[in-house]
Protein backbone atom coordinates (compact mmCIF):
# COMPACT_ATOMS: atom_id res chain seq x y z
CA UNK A 1 0.00 0.00 0.00
CA UNK A 2 1.31 3.39 -0.95
CA UNK A 3 1.18 6.30 1.52
CA UNK A 4 -0.02 9.77 0.58
CA UNK A 5 2.99 12.15 0.38
CA UNK A 6 0.87 15.32 0.63
CA UNK A 7 1.83 16.23 4.19
CA UNK A 8 5.46 15.29 3.67
CA UNK A 9 5.59 17.66 0.68
CA UNK A 10 3.70 20.33 2.63
CA UNK A 11 6.09 20.02 5.57
CA UNK A 12 9.13 20.44 3.34
CA UNK A 13 7.74 23.29 1.28
CA UNK A 14 6.42 25.17 4.32
CA UNK A 15 9.79 24.85 6.05
CA UNK A 16 11.67 26.21 3.05
CA UNK A 17 9.10 28.97 2.61
CA UNK A 18 9.43 29.90 6.29
CA UNK A 19 13.20 30.07 5.89
CA UNK A 20 12.95 32.30 2.81
CA UNK A 21 10.46 34.59 4.56
CA UNK A 22 12.62 34.73 7.70
CA UNK A 23 15.57 35.72 5.53
CA UNK A 24 13.55 38.50 3.89
CA UNK A 25 12.31 39.67 7.28
CA UNK A 26 15.85 39.87 8.67
CA UNK A 27 16.96 41.81 5.59
CA UNK A 28 13.91 44.07 5.98
CA UNK A 29 14.90 44.83 9.56
CA UNK A 30 18.44 45.63 8.48
CA UNK A 31 17.17 47.87 5.66
CA UNK A 32 14.93 49.64 8.15
CA UNK A 33 17.87 50.38 10.41
CA UNK A 34 20.55 51.18 7.82
CA UNK A 35 18.39 52.85 5.14
CA UNK A 36 20.43 51.87 2.07
CA UNK A 37 17.69 53.14 -0.25
CA UNK A 38 16.86 56.80 0.23
CA UNK A 39 13.40 56.62 -1.32
CA UNK A 40 12.01 54.10 1.16
CA UNK A 41 9.89 55.45 4.00
CA UNK A 42 10.63 53.94 7.40
CA UNK A 43 6.94 53.30 7.99
CA UNK A 44 6.64 51.34 4.73
CA UNK A 45 9.72 49.24 5.50
CA UNK A 46 8.41 48.63 9.02
CA UNK A 47 5.08 47.41 7.64
CA UNK A 48 6.79 45.12 5.12
CA UNK A 49 9.11 43.80 7.84
CA UNK A 50 6.17 43.00 10.12
CA UNK A 51 4.17 41.35 7.33
CA UNK A 52 7.16 39.21 6.32
CA UNK A 53 7.64 38.17 9.94
CA UNK A 54 3.95 37.30 10.27
CA UNK A 55 4.07 35.26 7.06
CA UNK A 56 7.24 33.50 8.23
CA UNK A 57 5.56 32.53 11.49
CA UNK A 58 2.52 31.33 9.56
CA UNK A 59 4.74 29.16 7.38
CA UNK A 60 6.47 27.83 10.52
CA UNK A 61 3.03 26.94 11.92
CA UNK A 62 2.12 25.10 8.71
CA UNK A 63 5.54 23.39 8.74
CA UNK A 64 5.02 22.09 12.27
CA UNK A 65 1.32 21.32 12.03
CA UNK A 66 1.70 19.33 8.84
CA UNK A 67 4.11 17.02 10.69
CA UNK A 68 1.16 15.92 12.84
CA UNK A 69 -0.50 14.49 9.73
CA UNK A 70 2.58 13.17 7.94
CA UNK A 71 2.57 9.37 7.69
CA UNK A 72 6.35 9.20 7.16
CA UNK A 73 7.18 10.37 10.70
CA UNK A 74 5.19 9.90 13.86
CA UNK A 75 5.06 13.38 15.42
CA UNK A 76 2.67 14.26 18.20
CA UNK A 77 1.88 17.63 19.73
CA UNK A 78 4.44 17.06 22.50
CA UNK A 79 7.11 16.38 19.87
CA UNK A 80 6.36 19.76 18.27
CA UNK A 81 6.46 21.75 21.50
CA UNK A 82 9.25 20.11 23.53
CA UNK A 83 12.70 20.31 21.94
CA UNK A 84 14.58 17.06 21.48
CA UNK A 85 11.82 14.52 22.08
CA UNK A 86 10.63 14.01 18.50
CA UNK A 87 11.37 10.77 16.66
CA UNK A 88 13.19 12.36 13.70
CA UNK A 89 16.69 13.80 14.22
CA UNK A 90 15.81 15.00 17.74
CA UNK A 91 18.73 17.40 18.17
CA UNK A 92 18.18 19.22 14.90
CA UNK A 93 14.39 19.26 15.09
CA UNK A 94 14.83 20.49 18.67
CA UNK A 95 16.90 23.38 17.32
CA UNK A 96 14.00 24.17 14.98
CA UNK A 97 11.47 24.06 17.82
CA UNK A 98 13.51 26.41 20.01
CA UNK A 99 14.02 28.70 17.01
CA UNK A 100 10.27 28.86 16.35
CA UNK A 101 9.51 29.55 20.00
CA UNK A 102 12.07 32.35 20.19
CA UNK A 103 10.71 33.77 16.92
CA UNK A 104 7.30 34.05 18.58
CA UNK A 105 8.82 35.90 21.55
CA UNK A 106 10.62 38.40 19.30
CA UNK A 107 7.47 38.86 17.22
CA UNK A 108 5.36 39.53 20.32
CA UNK A 109 7.90 42.13 21.42
CA UNK A 110 6.50 44.43 18.71
CA UNK A 111 3.30 44.70 20.71
CA UNK A 112 5.08 44.80 24.08
CA UNK A 113 7.56 47.51 23.10
CA UNK A 114 5.95 50.24 25.19
CA UNK A 115 5.97 48.00 28.30
CA UNK A 116 9.43 46.52 27.97
CA UNK A 117 11.04 49.73 26.73
CA UNK A 118 12.89 50.55 23.54
CA UNK A 119 16.27 49.44 24.93
CA UNK A 120 15.03 45.96 25.91
CA UNK A 121 13.15 45.71 22.62
CA UNK A 122 16.31 46.50 20.64
CA UNK A 123 18.37 44.05 22.68
CA UNK A 124 15.76 41.39 22.07
CA UNK A 125 15.95 42.07 18.34
CA UNK A 126 19.66 41.21 18.36
CA UNK A 127 18.47 37.64 19.00
CA UNK A 128 17.24 37.66 15.41
CA UNK A 129 20.76 36.85 14.24
CA UNK A 130 20.67 33.73 16.43
CA UNK A 131 17.23 32.85 15.10
CA UNK A 132 18.49 33.11 11.54
CA UNK A 133 21.59 31.04 12.31
CA UNK A 134 19.59 28.39 14.18
CA UNK A 135 16.99 28.20 11.40
CA UNK A 136 19.82 27.68 8.93
CA UNK A 137 21.34 24.90 11.05
CA UNK A 138 17.91 23.30 11.53
CA UNK A 139 17.26 23.29 7.80
CA UNK A 140 20.68 22.01 6.81
CA UNK A 141 20.82 19.28 9.45
CA UNK A 142 17.23 18.04 9.44
CA UNK A 143 15.96 18.97 5.98
CA UNK A 144 15.52 16.05 3.64
CA UNK A 145 16.40 18.28 0.67
CA UNK A 146 19.60 19.69 2.20
CA UNK A 147 21.80 17.66 -0.13
CA UNK A 148 20.17 19.10 -3.24
CA UNK A 149 22.07 21.81 -5.13
CA UNK A 150 19.05 24.13 -5.24
CA UNK A 151 18.58 23.94 -1.47
CA UNK A 152 22.26 24.54 -0.85
CA UNK A 153 22.02 27.56 -3.16
CA UNK A 154 19.07 28.83 -1.10
CA UNK A 155 21.05 28.55 2.14
CA UNK A 156 24.19 30.10 0.67
CA UNK A 157 22.19 32.91 -0.93
CA UNK A 158 20.31 33.62 2.30
CA UNK A 159 23.49 33.67 4.38
CA UNK A 160 25.18 35.89 1.79
CA UNK A 161 22.26 38.32 1.66
CA UNK A 162 22.02 38.64 5.45
CA UNK A 163 25.81 39.00 5.72
CA UNK A 164 25.84 41.70 3.01
CA UNK A 165 22.98 43.63 4.64
CA UNK A 166 24.72 43.35 8.01
CA UNK A 167 28.00 44.64 6.54
CA UNK A 168 26.11 47.53 4.98
CA UNK A 169 24.56 48.38 8.32
CA UNK A 170 27.89 48.25 10.13
CA UNK A 171 30.10 49.94 7.54
CA UNK A 172 27.90 52.57 5.88
CA UNK A 173 26.54 55.45 7.93
CA UNK A 174 22.78 56.01 7.71
CA UNK A 175 21.39 58.66 5.37
CA UNK A 176 21.68 62.28 6.52
CA UNK A 177 17.96 62.51 7.38
CA UNK A 178 18.15 59.33 9.43
CA UNK A 179 21.23 60.66 11.28
CA UNK A 180 19.39 63.87 12.10
CA UNK A 181 16.41 61.95 13.45
CA UNK A 182 18.67 59.69 15.51
CA UNK A 183 20.60 62.61 17.03
CA UNK A 184 17.48 64.68 17.67
CA UNK A 185 18.38 67.50 15.26
CA UNK A 186 15.67 69.26 13.31
CA UNK A 187 15.83 69.95 9.61
Number of residues written out for the chain: 187
Give the pTM.
0.88
Average pLDDT of every residue of the chain? 89
List C-alpha distances in Å: 44 to 28, 39, 144, 172: 10, 10, 36, 21
The range of the structural domain enclosing residue 97 comes to 6-183
What's the number of domains the chain is made of?
Answer: 1
- pLDDT-derived band at 187, boundaries 50, 70, 90: very low
- Is 79 inside a domain boundary? yes
Mean pLDDT of 174-181: 53
Q: pLDDT (tens digit, 9 = 90+) per residue, 112-156?
A: 989 999 999 989 999 999 999 999 999 999 999 999 999 999 999
Reply yes or no on whether the pLDDT at 1 is more than 50. Answer: no
- Is 31 inside a domain boundary? yes
pLDDT at 42: 81
- Is 87 inside a domain boundary? yes
Task: Give the C-alpha separation, 106 to 65, whole Å.
Answer: 21
- Is 122 inside a domain boundary? yes
Mean pLDDT of 7-18: 95
- Is 1 inside a domain boundary? no
**What is the distance of C-alpha 112 from the center of its chain?**
19
Amino acid sequence: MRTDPTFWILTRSAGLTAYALLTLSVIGGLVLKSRPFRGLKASTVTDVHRVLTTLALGAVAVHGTSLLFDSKVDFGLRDLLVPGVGPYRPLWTGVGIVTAEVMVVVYLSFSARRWIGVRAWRLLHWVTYGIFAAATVHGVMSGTDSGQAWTQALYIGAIGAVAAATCWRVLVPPAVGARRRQSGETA
